[in-house]
Amino acid sequence: MEKMRLFIAIPLPEPVLKRLAEVQHRLKGRVAHRSVRWVRSEGIHLTLKFLGDTTREKVGAIGEALTVVGRNAPGCTVTVEGLGCFPSPRRPRVLWVGVTEPTGRLEALQAAVEEAMTSLGYSPERRGFTPHLTVGRVRRGASRQEMEQIGEAVQTMAVGELATITVDRFELIRSELKPSGAEYTTVETFPLRGDQH
């Protein structure tokens, strides 16, 4: 039985991906070479829910559930700004650019996606939703000194407002792990209710 590695995310417009690539370029100049695996900028998404390995048979039910979510969720406007890392600058593992959305609509959309997927048997995310765009992951073999350097770079590098994005849809995306890195294909697109203002 063929399985697909799937996740649900909001796609980003090309100009935003270019700005994220510029942030990566600036960060690269401040950290040890090869201490971070950088995410290819065209592969950066605002992830709402990671589903993982899913059988083809289940894709139809996922699509139906997400269509209902989209029909009921209004669009919103998000701001891309700031730099941070998980779990903390002292132990950086994931480097990210922040996403803010003051009305709570983005959070409500993610909660609706979470609920719809839980009803199909996917386990709910235990950590709270922190919207972010992953730009790099610290390599497992990074030394303490390299990690300190990465943490310091994240804390001292100013990343102001990069963009404001109108969110009017989200996607079910397939991720295929290839030697050259992950390749992403949109399986289905779900429009949001068009009343973001």
Residues tagged active-site: 45, 132
Rounded distance, CA 38 to CA 25, Å? 10
Three-state SS at 91: strand
Rounded distance, CA 146 to CA 90, Å? 11
Written as six digits, the tokens of 93 are 């593992």
Written as six digits, the tokens of 183 are 């390749």
